């Protein structure tokens, strides 16, 4: 059995949306001290839609593939939908990641969430109040920065 799915290898060998957006509306950067992976996401947002997204990733095949897939999943989406992206959705879109590489999909989720939080802070808006789905318990854990990524 192969360590990585064909989709992981495709996104590693042919990553989508690599690069920098010089005039980005939101930038998010995360890293993992244990493995050394570093991800940086750049967002260009117009009228509440993610018009463009680019990334720079230093890391393993799973990290690059997770970054690439995450950008594909949010490009063209409303900001409110992008805030709901989970690491589980990234891993599933890649046809799975080995358990010990799931942290890469967590980093991709966190980098996007940080870029969206940066965008909202530049706008001076309360994104949790205005753009998130609030649960019955009153938590907007589906998209707020305080939300814990799924492992």
What is the per-residue pLDDT across 91-140, written as a single tens digit (0 to 9) for each?
999 999 999 999 999 999 999 999 999 999 998 876 554 445 434 333 33
**pLDDT(149) > 80:** no
Task: Count structural domains, the chain.
Answer: 1
- Whether residue 46 lies inside any domain: the answer is yes
Q: In sequence order, which ranges of 14-124 are alpha helices (DSSP H)?
A: 61-74, 79-82, 87-93, 102-123
- Whether residue 137 lies inside any domain: the answer is no
Active site residue 143: no
Q: What is the domain range of residue 48?
A: 6-131
* Segment 12-20 mean pLDDT: 97
- Whether residue 114 lies inside any domain: the answer is yes
- What gap in Å lies between CA 99 and CA 25, rounded to an integer? 33
Sheet holding 38-46, edge to edge: 26-31, 38-46, 49-58
Query: 104, 128, 132, 143: which one is catalytic?
Result: 104
- Whether residue 65 lies inside any domain: the answer is yes
pLDDT at 141: 40
pLDDT at 127: 59
- Whether residue 31 lies inside any domain: the answer is yes
Read off the pLDDT of residues 53-86 as tens digits, 9 standing for 90 and up: 999 999 999 999 999 999 999 999 999 999 999 9
Angle between helices 102-123 and 61-74 (to 10 degrees): 40
Active site residue 35: yes
With 0.85 as the threshold, say if the pTM is over it. Answer: no
DSSP state of 20: -
pLDDT at 145: 45
- Whether residue 37 lies inside any domain: the answer is yes
For residue 116, the domain's CATH number is: 3.90.1010.10
- Whether residue 74 lies inside any domain: the answer is yes
- Whether residue 97 lies inside any domain: the answer is yes
């Amino acid at each position: 059995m192969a360590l990585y799915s064909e989709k992981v290898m495709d996104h590693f060998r042919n990553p989508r949306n690599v690069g920098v957006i010089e005039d980005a509306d939101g930038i998010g950067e995360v890293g993992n001290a244990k493995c050394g992976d570093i991800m940086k996401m750049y967002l260009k947002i117009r009228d509440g839609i993610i018009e463009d997204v680019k990334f720079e990733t230093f890391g393993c095949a799973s990290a690059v593939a997770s970054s690439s897939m995450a950008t594909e999943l949010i490009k063209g989406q409303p900001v409110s939908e992008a805030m709901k992206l989970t690491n589980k959705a990234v891993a599933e879109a890649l046809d799975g990641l080995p358990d010990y590489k799931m942290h890469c999909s967590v980093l991709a989720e966190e980098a996007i969430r940080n870029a969206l939080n940066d965008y909202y802070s530049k706008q001076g808006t309360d994104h949790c109040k205005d753009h998130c789905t609030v649960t019955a318990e009153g938590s907007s854990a589906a998209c707020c920065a305080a939300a814990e990524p799924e492992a």
